[in-house]
Amino acid sequence: MISPEMIVYIAVGIMTLAMLMAMVRFVKGPSVVDRVVAFDSLTISSLVIISVIAMLSNRMIYFDVAIVYGLLSFIGVIVVAKYIQKGL
């Protein structure tokens, strides 16, 4: 039987693979929009990994870090989208 910790480690492995694939798209992306979407995917994957680390290490301060990182990422994507659409 698979333990809950094993499921968490498998999920972290899958998220790491997703981050690797998003990094490839970020580097090779043919357009700026592809790179922005890949960057957003990278930040979401890293937020998940930070949250899992917080849960495994029993340190709630990491959740605060993840929330701030998520907010900054959201603002960054909005600014870049606004720039792409019609400039700042």
pTM of the full predicted structure? 0.82
pLDDT-derived band at 13, boundaries 50, 70, 90: very high
Fold of 4-86: Helix Hairpins (1.10.287)
pLDDT in tens, 1-10: 888 889 888 9
**Burial, 45: exposed, middle or buried (Cβ in 10 Å; 0-12, 13-18, 19+)?**
buried
pLDDT in tens, 20-76: 999 999 999 898 889 989 999 999 999 999 999 898 889 999 999 999 999 999 999
Separation CA 25–CA 39 (nearest Å): 9
